[in-house]
Amino acid sequence: MDLGFLTAQDRACADLPTELFVPESGLPGKAAKDACRRCPYTTDCLAYAYATGDNYAYMGGTTANERRTVRPPQHTPRRLQVAGRRRQVVDMADAGLTLKEIALVLKLPVATVTADKIRAGRKQAAARVNVALYAQIDALDAAGVSPTRIAEKLHIGRRTVYNRRAQRQTGLVAA
């Protein structure tokens, strides 16, 4: 599961109050629904909600009640194929093959191989940024700085700070 969305600055809920997503009635308001509808991370967020067994929050466009009654969505074979192909491209590039050579071996257009390689590079760069950001959040948190102050200092949403705390507490991500 890709947890990068937890700290992504472009999550649609990044700057919205957490309470909107944890409504007492269990039913989300329009602002939360609109946010999840336009969010680019709905799939990852939904997978995370299922994986953590969240019982309260409106996540990935679903209420906790909906998740209890609907089975988690499966990755489609097509998604798995693409993910597997990208891993092959990265492994071969790491082994020193040129993009043209990889395209020949995998019988793919060079443009596809190039796009896969660029995408993988972006993901790695984003992961490096996340690791650095997590370290900063953890250090400030350990020093007793409040989540609001941490968010202001690092120019991130408060929800990011809370999410990182939740990751550490649930052991989903090593502290």
Q: Which residues bind ligand SF4 (CB under 6 A)?
A: 5, 11-13, 21, 35-36, 39, 41-42, 45, 59-60
User: How far, rounded to the nearest angstrom, does the alpha carbon of residue 118 sit from its chain's CA centroid?
Assistant: 19
Closer residue to ligand SF4, CB minimum distance, 10 or 24? 10
Q: Which is nearer to ligand SF4, 30 or 107 (CB)?
A: 30
Query: Which residue lies nearer to ligand SF4 by CB, 41 or 134?
Result: 41
Pick the closer one to ligand SF4 by CB: 1 or 139.
1
CB 64 within 8 A of CB 56: yes
Which contiguous run of DSSP H or E holds residue 62?
Answer: none
Q: Please, what is the minimum distance in Å from the beta carbon of residue 49 to ligand SF4?
A: 8
Instruction: Tell me how far apart the alpha carbons of residues 59 and 20 are, in angstroms, rounded to a whole number.
Output: 11
Residue 16 per-residue DSSP state: S
**Residue 172 is encoded by which pair of tokens?**
């989903």
Phi-psi sector, 26: left (phi>0), alpha (psi -120 to 50), beta: left
Minimum CB distance to ligand SF4 smaller for 39 or for 113 = 39
At its nearest, how many Å lie between ligand SF4 and the CB of residue 58? 7
Burial 26-55 (b: 16+ CB within 10 A, else e): eebeeebeebbeebebbbbbbbbbbeeebe
Q: How near is the Cβ of 162 to ligand SF4 at its closest, in Å?
A: 12
What residues have CB less than 8 Å from 41, skipping those under 6 apart? 5, 8, 11
Minimal distance, residue 90 CB to ligand SF4, in Å: 26
User: CB 66 → ligand SF4: shortest distance, Å?
Assistant: 13
